[in-house]
Structure 1
Amino acid sequence: MQSLTESQIRASFVNTTVRERKSVALPSGFDRIRWEDNDFLGWRDPKLPLAGYMVIPTDDRPVGIMLRLGGRQPRARPQCSFCQDVQLPNEVAFYSAKIAGAAGRKGNTVGTLICSGFECSANVRVRPSAIFAGDDPEAVRQSRIAVLRDHLGGFAQRVLGHGS
């Protein structure tokens, strides 16, 4: 992911009001982010425990999405919809996002299961075990990164109201 400034991040949000956009708390350690190690930027708001944010790079522009942590979380350990890691070292939570524009103002949302701390970029870069990797662990890693990016792009399109 290419680096973004604070103003680029704030301008990228597609499903927030102007007031919400201005009050977004940037991630802790923002000035130390290793952008090249991330396929998206995701973080939780320390002041708003039910809020999370994602900025997903797309071909056109970065798409910022405000998320809300779902009230009822899955009982069984679910799989993240983005990284699809079967050996997750972290929790997965249900998040919803208002759809951008008029649909979101009417209350329409999309939801998905995401690593609760947005660890997906790190998860797909972990060297796969021999059972999953076969003869070419790097090819498996690269494939997992590509799948993550594809899933992120699809979610961004759904929030923009372009997908199902």
Structure 2
Amino acid sequence: MKPLTEADIRSSFVNAMPDELDHLPIPGLHEMLWDEREFLGWRDPQASRRGYMVQWMDGVATGIVVRAAGGSLRPGIAAMCSFCHSPQPATQVRLFSAARAGEAGLNGNTIGSYICEDLACSILIRVAPPHLNPPEMIAARSAALLQRVQNFTADIMRTA
């Protein structure tokens, strides 16, 4: 992933209300391993159900605001993130919804997906030991993850 600046992030959101961005928390960008990310995802420490995801689409930083559902999946079962396709305990996957861009979003039109609760899919696809997760497998998972995130974002941006 090409590095993002604070200005890139603040100007990127396609489905945010102005008040949502007034107090937008920016993660520690100097700590990012940009080469090991397909998108930047983080949760808002002041609004526990709110999260943010920013990626590059056609050379433009494109961000979306997502909201976690109030409840979680039932403990003790397995679940799969629809972005990174990593199976994990159900308590680590959450239903997130996102308002569509434009008037559709203002009218309450949303879409949802089950995503890793911490929005750290980029890290999760790389955590297996190298002998179980060779570079070519990481590259394939990375490309697939980025495509799914971009498809979700493109769906949010569809206004008709």
Does the pair score TM above 0.5? yes
**Any gaps of 5 or more consecutive residues in structure 1?**
none
Query: Which protein is richer in strand relative to its size?
Result: 2
What secondary structure sits across from 1:43 in the alignment?
Answer: strand
Q: Which residue pairs with 1:158 in the alignment?
A: 155
Shift of 1:162: 6.7
Shift of 1:146: 1.0
1:76-115 matches, within 5 Å, as 76-86=77-87, 91-115=92-116
Residues 121 and 162 (structure 1 numbering): CA distance in 2 closer, same or farther, change over 3 Å?
A: farther
Q: Which residue pairs with 1:20 in the alignment?
A: 20
Residues 67 and 87 (structure 1 numbering): CA distance in 2 closer, same or farther, change over 3 Å?
A: closer
What secondary structure sits across from 2:11 in the alignment?
Answer: helix
Question: C-alpha deviations, 1:80-117, integer Å up to 9, x for none?
Answer: 011001357x8111110100001000000010111111
Q: Which residue pairs with 1:147 in the alignment?
A: 144
The question of whether the paired residues in 1 share the 8 Å contact of 2:79 and 2:88 is answered with no
- Matched AA of 2:117: S
The question of whether the paired residues in 2 share the 8 Å contact of 1:14 and 1:64 is answered with yes
1:13-92 matches, within 5 Å, as 13-27=13-27, 29-75=28-74, 76-86=77-87, 91-92=92-93
What is the percentage of aligned positions where both structures have the same residue? 38
- Matched AA of 1:62: A
Residues 139 and 48 (structure 1 numbering): CA distance in 2 closer, same or farther, change over 3 Å?
A: same
C-alpha separation between the residues in 2 aligned to 1:147 and 1:13? 23
Q: What is the TM-score with the length of structure 2 in the denominator?
A: 0.87
- Matched AA of 1:126: V
Deviates more, 1:48-57 or 1:66-75: 66-75
Q: What is the TM-score with the length of structure 1 in the denominator?
A: 0.85
Deviates more, 1:90-99 or 1:39-48: 90-99
State the aligned residue count.
158
What secondary structure sits across from 1:104 in the alignment?
Answer: helix
**Any gaps of 5 or more consecutive residues in structure 2?**
none
The question of whether the paired residues in 1 share the 8 Å contact of 2:56 and 2:62 is answered with yes
